[in-house]
Structure 1
Amino acid sequence: MATVRYYEGVGRRKTSTARVRLYPGTGSIVVNDRALEDYFPRETDRIKLLRPLNVTEAQAQYNVSVHVAGGGTTGQTGAVIMGVARALVEADETLKTVLRKNGFLTRDARAVERKKPGLTKARRAKQYTKR
């Protein structure tokens, strides 16, 4: 049994986590055992996902397999971007400066703020009535 060499990267954003594997190949992308177009129907999400591969000119060199869970589409997109970038760095260390310069390796720490007691939302209070 021949083992196929792959490069793995984990990306996180908001409450989403993505495990990305890059296999040497022709450029097909599979997300949760579905085609990229089926899983991410919004074209802007697909364009963002392909940016790390386009910037490094590696889109036709690797097949991408992604397992992503948690959060919504925006968080999952950000998690996959970071996972792809980290897997590319594992595949070729020289790409790290290009990916870092474009911001693909930086974890976006913004998350939903918790709701505080006495307020309607995290910061929204009930409207004050003077009379």
Structure 2
Amino acid sequence: MSDETTTVSDLADLKDIAAGVPQGDAAEIARVAMPLRDREIDAQGRSYATGRRKDAVARVWVKPGTGKITINGRDQETYFARPTLRLVINQPFTITDRTGQYDVICTVRGGGLSGQAGAVKHGIAQALSKYEPELRSAVKAEGFLTRDSRVVERKKYGKAKARRSFQFSKR
């Protein structure tokens, strides 16, 4: 069986391929079984992704650079004044050891600052995995590619808030 014409259509084919490879070569089995995704880069050399958290939506572009992060036309230190929010934004870069290697330009709308920081983090992780597909497993293992779907529950009629009732009056 030649390596150039090997295709995997079901688990039986994978078993046949694994039988021909020495036991210590698990990376070769993974390479044959599942190829990497293609890079998604636009004409300007950027990778684009959308990040969401609560009511916030972030459009994120990532390109190689010096590590400058621009949010809604402002620097990250002025837009997110709290250090914890800046730490949240930089988490995908620290996990993948790419701190200071990419410039980020993003626009964020909706929600509060915490939700916007989460949306930017989600967008950066998505765009980074599109620019360098081999980083996807590391980012996915940390849970950065998963959209946190928790949102504020709506207020119902006849209630003070979403679930809180009005105070009962006996007289």
Q: Do Structure 1 and Structure 2 share a fold, with TM-score over 0.5?
A: yes
Distance across 1 between alignment mates of 2:162 and 2:102? 43
Residues 60-116 of structure 1: CA distance to partner in whole angstroms, max 9, x if unpaired?
221111111111101101100000000011011111111111111111111111111
Instruction: Select which of 49, 58, 61 maps to 2:101.
Output: 61
Instruction: Select which of 49, 55, 62 maps to 1:15.
Output: 55
Equivalent in the alignment of 2:130: 90
4+ residue stretches of structure 1 with deviation over 3 A?
none
TM-score (norm 1): 0.93
Distance across 1 between alignment mates of 2:157 and 2:62? 46
1:46 CA displacement: 0.3
Distance across 1 between alignment mates of 2:65 and 2:44? 11
Q: Could you tell me the percent identity over the aligned residues?
A: 46
Matched, 1:103 2:143: yes
Gaps of 5+ in 2: 1-42
Secondary structure of the residue aligned to 2:153 is coil
TM-score (norm 2): 0.72
Task: Map 1:3-42; keep pairs closer than 5 Å.
Answer: 4-42=44-82
Whose RCO is larger (CA < 8 A, sep 6+)? 1
